Structure 1
């Protein structure tokens, strides 16, 4: 038997429920002849008659009665399949740079505030992949640093700054800087900051390369990335290795490991996050997400901050809006470090 034509199946179900081909034709906005042809083609495909014709219309045969519930199930499955990818019908699909990142926490807050909004949370490789998915309609929004040198947002893609995420240095108890209450980035000159999650060509690696160049420190990306827990396990026992984490990333190691989280000051390096979306995206839940983000209290780090000159950053109160459209001002890199 050849594959079943779902249009013919829909016509069969409509005719079975109507009991007359003309009524089915009216409901489907086609001619009675078209209904007859579709039903005949389905019967030929199945190899059995589905209806007997009577003076009053049509009546299901035994085979037609057996097929009807399965035909309805096929149409239900078709609708579920279409809804899974239809904006407004499928869940809001949002990309975060890491499921332990601060932006993932923002998305969790939105879910708690609006539990009725269905979400699909994905993690794409970098901002280029996220923007491509937004342009194609496969993705509704992304929490990212927008760009890096040489990369511009395409027409129709908008990026709205969300917040600047301060970085902390994390060391083990034997590290030379472990006793510091806070340090300046300049004091990291000559020190090794281990970030095995940094991938060449990504926006977050561009951010940390710029940070290293600005303050003379060394970003070491050598070694497999087994995740934050493994990295912290290594750092806890090392007198020379440290890493950067967001001020919002919990230290998942036990207190007995003696890990130190040291704020960076004068200036505070901040990793700027934005919401990227397509200006014409019709998904109704995207408006709800944007309204939730706009209602969050603004938080800006105290004192002087640092970010790459090409970074799209959130503005302190009174500084006015900062939305990037298409090309032009863009945002830095970051991700695996701040909250991976």
Structure 2
């Protein structure tokens, strides 16, 4: 399919007038009409209806428009990936101190010659939209959340099962435990102000609460990790969950404890998401690196929600 003709169709659909499309494309109106006619012959349908107000999309034109936009986006990604001075590989890691950020630091140490842009997006919908638009090349997420199957053009692979640990202050009732069975946490207050309803991590913790009878509180504003650590250190009745690979530093006098959770160990499932037509040459290198270095601890003795995609 001729991409110049597809681009002409998209511009004509956006402007609503062949004359305005001709001006934007720097061609004659006759050229626009010929391109649209050629596309209609190729597809075997009418795409526009001429009216006094200009050119309006038919039902077939409306159906074809999102696919035409996607064709142009794929073409742009393909050109960008091989153009001299091509852009860096862009990857969303959710948070700067989390496990995904550590995975990308490991990738950079292994392949320092590959230029990277690391970004922090909020939720899985935002990340998927950025992947589909070409804004980013990949994202680390837990997939697929309830009722949110991935779009057909988005692929994923589960790359890391991160065990959760219990973080307590020195005066907490479990502070001296070498490990704690998950069932024993029932009745203890677990404070996680960073849980936002509707996100994939909220879905994960909702299922954890439902299955094991836990009490997780997300009340109060989220002032960040430093405020969370201060509160946990000073409040004997509170604890929080933290991923084993989360990198945090706190004052020595906080006396905080990171305690493994067992029987079973809840693990947060990190998957890598990317567009199936992504042409960035470094993406395959990243996937191979993660497959070789970021294997999870295995399914024995661990727990994830039933909606999480299986290990590949």
TM-score (structure 1 length as normaliser): 0.65
Q: 2:213 aligns with which of 209, 216, 229?
A: 216
CA deviation after TM superposition for structure 1 residue 248, in Å: 1.5
- Structure 1 partner of 2:301: 304
Distance 2:88 2:178 in 1: 44
CA deviation after TM superposition for structure 1 residue 290, in Å: 1.3
> Contact 1:266–1:303 at 8 Å: present in 2 too?
no
Relative to structure 1, the CA distance from residue 251 to residue 121 in structure 2 (aligned partners, 3 Å threshold; closer, same or farther) is closer
Q: 1:183 aligns with which of 180, 184, 195?
A: 180
Distance 2:127 2:80 in 1: 19
1:230 aligns with 2:227: yes
1:292 aligns with 2:289: yes
- Structure 1 partner of 2:11: none
- Structure 2 partner of 1:279: 276
Structure showing greater radius of gyration is 1
- Structure 2 partner of 1:120: 117
Q: 2:143 aligns with which of 121, 142, 146?
A: 146
Aligned to 1:129, what secondary structure does the other structure show? helix
Distance 1:298 1:152 in 2: 24
TM-score (structure 2 length as normaliser): 0.71
Distance 2:140 2:296 in 1: 17
Segments of structure 2 that go 5 or more residues without pairing to the other structure are 1-75
Q: RMSD of the alignment, in Å?
A: 1.8
- Structure 2 partner of 1:241: 238
CA deviation after TM superposition for structure 1 residue 191, in Å: 1.4
- Structure 1 partner of 2:189: 192
Q: Deviations over 1:127-170 (max 9, x none)?
A: 11111111111110001112211101011110101011000000
Distance 1:297 1:288 in 2: 14
CA deviation after TM superposition for structure 1 residue 115, in Å: 1.2
CA deviation after TM superposition for structure 1 residue 258, in Å: 1.1
Relative to structure 1, the CA distance from residue 226 to residue 176 in structure 2 (aligned partners, 3 Å threshold; closer, same or farther) is same
CA deviation after TM superposition for structure 1 residue 284, in Å: 0.8
Q: Deviations over 1:86-136 (max 9, x none)?
A: 335111110011110111100011111111111111111111111111111
Relative to structure 1, the CA distance from residue 106 to residue 183 in structure 2 (aligned partners, 3 Å threshold; closer, same or farther) is same
> Contact 1:272–1:313 at 8 Å: present in 2 too?
no
> Contact 2:98–2:247 at 8 Å: present in 1 too?
no
> Contact 1:175–1:240 at 8 Å: present in 2 too?
yes
- Structure 2 partner of 1:257: 254
Segments of structure 1 that go 5 or more residues without pairing to the other structure are 1-81, 315-321, 323-340
